[in-house]
Amino acid sequence: MALPHVLLGLLQLSPMTGYDLKKHLDTSISHLWSADKAQVYRTLASLVDDGLANVKVVRGHNFPDRQEHHITDKGREVLREWLLGPNEKQAVREPFLIRVFNAGLLEPEELEVLFTARLRSLEGEIAEFNAEREALGDAAARAGDRRSFLMAATLEASIVKLEAELKWIKSTIKQLKNLPV
């Protein structure tokens, strides 16, 4: 998956400015994808150049004009083809696991600090996502639509992955305590 598909997916929800898109990335789907402001604006320009989105200037009253991006029919078709296309192999980057892989040189107390810090971080993320899930789940139940349900389901998938890592960390901490020094 690439950022153009992410942005097309957001634009199919509603027209947005670059600022709005960045805000959505940082809030509603941060558990799935991230991009910096420059990447968002560069990609938006490409979407417009390729005819997948167009820009409409919305005149501002007492504030600057807004450049709203709208998905085009061609953009919807590209998004649809991507949705129905084959699943790409995903590049995996696991910074914490790279630390663990290389942590053999640490002393037992240092290992405990490493794992405990990650454990606390995961607990915080899980609590945050659970709060988001409850809010989104309530909204999805009220809306009763497939789109809201699927958005909540992506949050659930992220929670399940974090909980699995948390379980693994707890098990690894326990096993480390049984290893000879």
Going by C-alpha positions, the residue among 159, 163, 153 that lies closest to residue 129 is 159
Rounded Cα distance, 25 and 64, in Å:
23
Per-residue tens of pLDDT for the chain, all 181 residues: 589 999 999 999 999 999 999 999 988 888 888 899 999 999 999 999 999 999 999 888 888 888 999 999 999 999 999 999 988 888 778 899 999 999 999 999 999 999 999 999 999 999 988 888 887 766 666 767 788 788 888 888 999 999 999 999 999 999 998 888 7
Domain segments of the chain as ranges? 2-84, 95-177
Q: Please give the class, per CATH, of domain 2-84.
A: mainly alpha
**C-alpha triplet 174, 179, 181: angle, nearest 5°:** 125
* CA 29/CA 141 separation, integer angstroms: 19
- First vs last Cα of the chain: how many Å apart? 44
Residues 19, 69: Cα–Cα separation, whole Å: 11
Q: Is the pTM of this model over 0.85?
A: no
Cβ-count burial 141-172 (b if 16+ within 10 Å, e if not): eeeeeeebeebbeebeebbeebeebbeebeee
Element (H, E) at 144: none
Q: SS3 of 81, please?
A: helix
| CA angle (9, 90, 136) in 5-degree steps | 45
State the Cα–Cα distance between residues 155 and 32, nearest whole angstrom: 8
Output the CA angle 7-8-13, nearest 5 degrees. Answer: 95
What pLDDT is recorded for position 34? 87
Show the tokens assigned to 82.
């991507």
